[in-house]
Amino acid sequence: MFSRWLPATINTRPSEWSRAAIGMAVGTLLSVWVCSLVFGIEVAQHLIGPLGASAVLLFAVSSGALAQPWSILGGYLSAALVSLLMAHLLGRTLGSACLAAGLAVVLMCWLRCLHPPAGALALTLVLADPATIAMDWKALGPVMLGAATMLLCALAYNNLTRVRYPKRASEPVTLIPADHPRVDSQAITTEDLKRALADMEAFFDVTPEDLEQLIHASELHARRRSVGEVLAPRL
Query: For the chain, what are the domain ranges?
Result: 14-160, 168-235
Q: What stretches of the chain show up as alpha helix (H) in DSSP?
A: 14-39, 41-46, 48-60, 69-90, 94-111, 116-126, 130-135, 140-160, 190-200, 208-231
The span from the CA of 88 to the CA of 119, in Å, is 18
pTM of the entire structure? Answer: 0.75
What pLDDT tens digit does each residue of the chain (235 aa) get? Answer: 677 777 766 667 888 999 999 999 999 999 999 999 999 999 999 999 999 999 999 999 998 889 999 999 999 999 999 999 999 999 999 999 999 999 999 999 999 999 999 999 999 999 999 999 999 999 999 999 999 999 999 999 999 999 999 976 544 444 444 455 554 555 666 677 666 666 655 555 566 666 666 676 676 767 666 666 656 665 5
